[in-house]
């Protein structure tokens, strides 16, 4: 008889809530929230409370599978890994290292992502490694590096409590980051003003002092006007601008064209309300901005992000407690997967691959010759398959068959590959297309660290043995690397991998499993073993020295409504589900709360099309069509529809536009044109 | 206090009165419920913050009904175990209670009227909190004001079911709050007032005021104030005291002859 509570971190969103896995006689039987945890303090959302359920789901992959004569057949680890090592080696020799591409995983630990990118760079010999951060915050990483020198959330979550004014745009905070939502409700209770700018009337709107509804894709237009109003009113922070920034005059000149009247015409925000909101934000001593995918998933994603940075610097709201630019990261470890180098342009710790000194440093550390050519991003990899450049892909814990734009195209591309390896905990839509599927251990079955949205590196502890023959992702990848003859993959534990990561990545320099503990971890940068971690960035000085204003003009989305496709389609998530549903749809209470997708449509549009609530309708775009039930609601504006992307049977991403932001290569998942029709 | 607790547990093990002891363990800065066996180092054993021990015990006993388990209890934990025993969810005979008296601070945090178990092994008894300004404030409101107050509170609800999951007295395999006919599924916030009033009604003769629901609520809805107000009514209507006498039958689960 044995019962214990094993401290871990919730495997869903980027809040980083502390959980206690309830283990009875080696079986995972429940979850309790960690009391006194700095983020969730004894609370959880519905997904967190139930995050143990999918772990023991009978659908878990329990043995390696290999396609033989068209059928997936169970094989031994030895057969599977030898085959992969041989085939990867063969493709590399015949078509060159850049014909291979790897997707790391925002669901895996830092240690695993470190090993995956090291394997890609040091063993396969290419920088073609990317992951789903490309689809969520690539524009944040690119944009904020340009503005501030660091692409992460500037402040920490508990600081929201002391903010005087919080501007939330493009973040459905209560549904997508419920335990950050808690801090916002508490801040409101304390007297903070809340401004919400969002195309949909999302739950946080109920608590807003000002709510501005705007037309999707017009972010730069209203943000420039917002900035212009503040300058016109003389409410800008002259001292901060003078001492800590550059490029202000150009900004001032550009935003001068964006009058409140212009913004109203383009975005639909009534000018008086915009003026009121701008004054409210600029007058606050501690003004904090929260944003998420509503800002980033556009062809102007970087422009949108840098406009947010402009506003924050203009009002002197960077580098102080309870202020800042706070992009909320979607996945439990998407911050970490970026931090440890799961990106095609940077080594661990955001050290550019194109920089000769960095190349030398990592060549020395890893004992290999490296390539200084920047690798391909997700959508570019798939396009590369079409062009015959990419022959083999190794996908770890990602499901592009549901998460990426224009799924029909994704499927065509993946089917063309000579080798597709998928490593996951369930047979996802992507795994169904694979030549080889490797069963991975879940978060409850391994040690490691996740980095939450506020740069908080926290430890998870193995609670139960891996299900079936599944193995931890790091262990599998190290095995493949060794079979390919590589050295430097003899890690005996995640802790050892963290030590190597810390030795090559200064922002993680002072971290170790021993130091991280099990109550809130450490916030990077944490350069040495004595450093206590960093709550907020850019104190006194920006990472890049002076903060850079960016003078940006408004550009329309790539695809605008027309007669054929008159609606703007936006996609996103629901409170009760998570991403491609592999975990949440296997969780009984979540599946019963919301069993399938629906398309939100405004009552006036619905009436015009004679569509009633709950009716099955056809939604189409230039890329595909789906059948889905209508949800008639006035929470969405006229001319706009919204579809969550969780559900394969009515997949929003059959419709979405793969057009990319030119700098960050993030697809425009938040705006495309679509049509809604009655079926009968 | 923790030192005294360890001594009491050591003594129980020495006298062979228990197979294991369920208490709290401090490890790497994190406190969590844990089962200690005889040979285990007790230096990590601590007494706070409190966790819902009723949940842990009923889970363990479901699989190991005959094990002799020592359990560290506060006043509310004991009351909960008594109510659970009445409903056949735990077997008191196989439990050895190690009583901890809450501190004055603990009692204030929970607005607890009885912050101590019947037998105190560790700590000093402090008097309970009798004046509850939150309850008084609501009692003085007229019906419309009360309705608006609760409506505003429940509009913050994120439907996490934390009040259900954290409640040691919520042990039903199928919770009716999950059924679409009572509360429309998939909606945020959940329907007012059904979700919260069904739950409040179901807690009437079982809520032992451990405060775990309110502690777990991410929206900080004052749930225990509501349940406490209802409990007062049940007490005056049925003369029922929750969690005191194991032989006293709970009014909502008792069918009287004239009701058949």
Q: Is A502 exposed, middle or buried (0-12, 13-18, 19+ CB in 10 A)?
A: buried
* Secondary element (H or E) of residue A375: none
CB contact under 8 A, B158 and A520: no
Q: Which residues of A touch B160 (CB under 8 A)?
A: 43-46, 48-49, 178
Confidence band for B259, pLDDT divided at 50, 70 and 90: confident
pLDDT for residue A430: 95
- Residue of A462, A593, A598 best to disrupt the B interface, most CBs of B under 10 A: A593
Query: Which chain A residue shows the shortest CA-CA distance from B167?
Result: A32
**Which residue among B28, B63, B215 places its CB closest to the CB of A518?**
B28
CB contact under 8 A, A5 and B189: no
Q: Which residues of A touch B184 (CB under 8 A)?
A: none
List phi, psi (to 5°) of A15: -60, -40
Q: What is the rounded average pLDDT of the residues A219-230? A: 98
Confidence band for B252, pLDDT divided at 50, 70 and 90: confident
Confidence band for A246, pLDDT divided at 50, 70 and 90: very high
Say yes or no: A45 contacts chain B, CB-CB below 8 A.
Answer: yes
| Domain at A3-56: CATH code | 2.20.25.90
The rounded percent of chain A whose pLDDT value lies above 70 is 100
**Which residue among A3, A48, A189 places its CB closest to the CB of B60?**
A3
Intervals of CATH 2.40.40.20 along chain A: 567-678
Say yes or no: A49 contacts chain B, CB-CB below 8 A.
Answer: yes
pLDDT for residue A175: 96
The contacts of residue A636 (CB under 8 Å, 6+ apart) are A199, A200, A201, A600, A601, A602, A642
Q: Which residues of B touch A32 (CB under 8 A)?
A: 32-33, 51-52, 55, 166
| Domain at A567-678: CATH code | 2.40.40.20
Q: Which residues of A touch B60 (CB under 8 A)?
A: 1, 3, 24
**Which residue among A30, A35, A40 places its CB closest to the CB of B31?**
A35
For the cut 90, the answer to whether the pLDDT of residue B253 exceeds it is no
Mean pLDDT, chain A, integer: 97
Q: Which residues are registered as beta bridge partners of A668? A: A657
Q: What is the signed CA dihedral for A371, A376, A381, A384, rounded to 10 degrees?
A: -70
pLDDT for residue A680: 77
ipTM: 0.96
Task: Give the C-alpha separation, A126 to A389, whole Å.
Answer: 13
Lowest mean pLDDT among A84-93, A188-197, B176-185: B176-185
Q: Which of residues 369-428 of A touch B (CB under 8 A)?
A: none
- Cα→Cα distances A477→A81, A120, A576, Å: 9, 10, 32
DSSP 3-state of A324: strand
pLDDT for residue A77: 98
Smallest Cα distance from B259 to chain A, Å: 36
The rounded percent of chain A whose pLDDT value lies above 90 is 99
Instruction: Outline where DSSP puts E strands in B13-85.
Output: 20-27, 30-37, 45-46, 69-73
CB contact under 8 A, A518 and B215: no
Q: Which of residues 207-236 of A touch B (CB under 8 A)?
A: 207
Domain A138-328 has CATH 3.40.228.10: yes
Query: Which residue from B182, B207, B188 is spatially nearest to B82, judged by alpha carbons?
Result: B207
Task: Give the C-alpha separation, A483 to A623, whole Å.
Answer: 42
Task: Give the C-alpha separation, A3 to A107, whole Å.
Answer: 27
For the cut 80, the answer to whether the pLDDT of residue A58 exceeds it is yes
pTM for the model: 0.96
Question: Model confidence over A581-626: pLDDT tens digits?
Answer: 999 999 999 999 999 999 999 999 999 999 999 999 999 999 999 9
Confidence band for B255, pLDDT divided at 50, 70 and 90: confident
CB contact under 8 A, A49 and B19: no
Say yes or no: A3 contacts chain B, CB-CB below 8 A.
Answer: yes
CB contact under 8 A, B160 and A574: no
Say yes or no: A534 contacts chain B, CB-CB below 8 A.
Answer: no
CB contact under 8 A, B218 and A179: yes
Intervals of CATH 3.40.228.10 along chain A: 138-328
Count the neighbouring beta carbons within 10 Å of the beta carbon of residue A59: 11
pLDDT for residue A490: 97
Query: Which chain A residue shows the shortest CA-CA distance from B49?
Result: A35
Domain A65-130+332-523 has CATH 3.40.50.740: yes
Intervals of CATH 2.20.25.90 along chain A: 3-56
pLDDT for residue A312: 98
Query: Which chain A residue shows the shortest CA-CA distance from B156?
Result: A185
pLDDT for residue B258: 79
Task: Give the C-alpha separation, A82 to A342, whole Å.
Answer: 25
* Secondary element (H or E) of residue A537: none
The contacts of residue B1 (CB under 8 Å, 6+ apart) are B47, B100, B122, B123
pLDDT for residue A92: 98
**Which residue among B35, B51, B55 places its CB closest to the CB of A2?**
B35
Contacts of A505-509 spanning 24+ positions with Cβ under 8 A: A505/A339, A505/A340, A505/A341, A505/A347, A505/A348, A505/A349, A505/A351, A506/A349, A507/A339, A507/A349, A507/A350, A508/A110, A508/A339, A508/A340, A508/A348, A508/A349, A508/A457
Q: What is the rounded average pLDDT of the residues B96-123? A: 95
For the cut 90, the answer to whether the pLDDT of residue A302 exceeds it is yes
Q: Which of residues 453-472 of A touch B (CB under 8 A)?
A: 459
Lowest mean pLDDT among A178-187, A222-231, A458-467, B129-138: B129-138
Interface of B with A (CB under 8 A): 19-20, 22, 25, 27-35, 49, 51-52, 55-56, 59-60, 63-64, 67, 155-156, 158-162, 165-166, 178, 185-186, 188-189, 215-220
Confidence band for A477, pLDDT divided at 50, 70 and 90: very high
């Amino acid at each position: 008889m044995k019962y214990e509570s094993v401290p871990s971190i919730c495997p869903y969103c980027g809040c980083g809530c502390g959980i206690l896995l309830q283990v009875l006689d080696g079986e995972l039987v429940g979850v309790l929230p960690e009391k006194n945890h700095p983020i969730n303090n004894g609370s959880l959302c519905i997904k967190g409370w139930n995050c143990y359920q999918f772990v023991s789901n009978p659908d878990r992959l329990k043995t390696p599978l290999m396609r033989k004569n068209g059928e997936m057949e169970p094989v031994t680890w030895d057969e599977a890994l030898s085959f992969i090592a041989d085939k990867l080696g063969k493709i590399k020799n015949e078509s060159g290292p850049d014909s291979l591409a790897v997707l790391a995983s925002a669901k895996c630990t830092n240690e695993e992502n470190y090993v995956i990118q090291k394997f890609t760079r040091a063993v396969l010999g290419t920088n073609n490694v990317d992951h789903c951060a490309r689809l969520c915050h690539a524009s944040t990483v690119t944009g904020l590096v340009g503005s501030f020198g660091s692409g992460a959330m500037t402040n920490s979550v508990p600081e929201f409590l002391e903010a005087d004014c919080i501007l939330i745009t493009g973040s459905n905070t209560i549904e997508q980051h419920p335990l950050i939502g808690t801090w916002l409700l508490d801040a409101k209770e304390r007297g903070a003003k809340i401004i919400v700018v969002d195309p949909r009337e999302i739950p946080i709107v109920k608590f807003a002092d000002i709510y501005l509804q705007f037309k999707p894709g017009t972010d730069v237009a209203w943000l420039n006007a917002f900035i212009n109003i503040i300058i016109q009113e003389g409410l800008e922070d002259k001292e901060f601008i003078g001492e800590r920034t550059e490029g202000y005059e150009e900004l001032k000149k550009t935003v001068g064209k964006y009058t409140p009247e212009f913004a109203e015409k383009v975005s639909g925000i009534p000018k008086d309300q915009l003026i009121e909101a701008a004054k409210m934000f600029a007058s606050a001593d501690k003004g904090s901005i929260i944003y998420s995918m509503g800002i980033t998933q556009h062809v102007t994603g970087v422009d949108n992000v840098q406009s947010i940075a402009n506003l924050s610097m203009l009002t002197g709201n960077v580098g102080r407690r309870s202020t800042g630019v706070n992009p909320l990261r979607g996945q439990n470890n998407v911050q970490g997967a970026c931090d440890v180098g799961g990106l095609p342009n940077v080594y661990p710790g955001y050290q550019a691959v194109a920089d000769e000194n960095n190349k030398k440093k990592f060549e020395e550390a890893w004992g290999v010759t490296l390539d200084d050519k920047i690798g391909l991003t997700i959508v570019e990899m798939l396009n590369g398959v079409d062009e015959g450049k990419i022959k083999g892909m190794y996908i770890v814990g990602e499901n592009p068959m549901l998460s990426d734009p224009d799924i029909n195209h994704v499927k065509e591309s993946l089917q063309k590959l000579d080798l597709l390896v998928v490593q996951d905990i369930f047979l996802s839509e992507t795994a169904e297309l694979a030549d080889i599927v490797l069963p991975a251990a879940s978060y409850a079955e391994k040690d490691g660290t996740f980095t939450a949205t506020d740069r908080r590196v926290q430890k998870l502890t193995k609670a139960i043995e891996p299900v079936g023959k599944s193995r931890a992702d790091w262990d599998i990848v190290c095995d493949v690397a060794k079979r390919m003859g590589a050295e430097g993959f003899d890690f005996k534990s995640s802790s050892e991998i963290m030590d190597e990561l810390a030795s090559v990545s200064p922002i993680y320099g002072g971290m170790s499993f021993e130091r991280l503990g099990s109550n809130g971890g450490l916030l990077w940068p944490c350069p040495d073993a004595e450093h206590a971690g960093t709550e907020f960035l850019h104190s006194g000085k920006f990472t890049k020295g002076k903060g850079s204003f960016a003078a940006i003009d408004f550009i329309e989305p790539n695809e605008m409504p027309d007669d054929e496709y008159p609606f703007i389609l936006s996609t996103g998530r629901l409170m009760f589900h998570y991403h491609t549903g592999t975990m949440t749809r296997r969780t009984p209470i979540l599946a019963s709360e919301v069993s399938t997708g629906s398309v939100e449509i405004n009552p006036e549009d619905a009436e015009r099309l004679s569509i009633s609530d709950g009716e099955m309708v056809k939604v189409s775009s230039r890329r595909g069509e789906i059948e889905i039930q209508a949800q008639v609601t006035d929470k969405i504006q006229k001319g706009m529809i919204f579809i969550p992307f969780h559900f394969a049977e009515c997949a929003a991403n059959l419709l979405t536009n793969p057009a990319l932001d030119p700098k960050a290569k993030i697809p425009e998942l938040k705006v495309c044109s679509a049509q809604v029709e009655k079926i009968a | 206090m923790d030192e005294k607790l360890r001594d009491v547990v050591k003594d129980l093990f020495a006298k062979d009165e228990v197979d294991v002891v369920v208490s709290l363990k401090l490890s790497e800065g994190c406190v969590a419920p844990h089962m200690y066996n005889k040979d285990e180092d007790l230096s990590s054993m601590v007494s706070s913050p409190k966790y819902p021990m009723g949940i842990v015990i009923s889970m363990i006993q479901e699989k190991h009904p005959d094990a002799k388990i020592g359990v560290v209890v506060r006043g509310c934990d004991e009351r909960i175990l008594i109510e659970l025993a009445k409903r056949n969810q735990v077997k008191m005979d196989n439990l050895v209670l190690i009583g901890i008296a809450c501190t004055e601070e603990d009692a204030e945090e929970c607005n607890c009227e009885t912050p101590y178990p019947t037998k105190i092994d560790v700590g000093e008894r402090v008097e309970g909190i009798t004046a509850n300004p939150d309850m008084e404030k609501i009692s003085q409101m007229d019906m419309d004001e009360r309705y608006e107050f609760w409506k505003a509170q429940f509009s913050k609800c994120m439907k996490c079911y934390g009040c259900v999951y954290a409640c040691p007295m919520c042990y039903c395999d199928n919770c009716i709050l999950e059924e679409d006919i009572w509360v429309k599924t998939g909606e945020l916030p959940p329907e007012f007032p059904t979700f919260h009033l069904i739950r409040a009604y179901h807690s009437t003769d079982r809520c032992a005021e451990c405060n775990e629901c309110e502690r777990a609520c991410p929206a900080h809805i004052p749930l225990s104030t509501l349940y406490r107000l209802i409990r007062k009514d049940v007490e005056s209507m049925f003369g029922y005291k929750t969690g005191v006498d194991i032989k006293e039958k709970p009014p909502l689960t008792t069918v009287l002859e004239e009701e058949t």
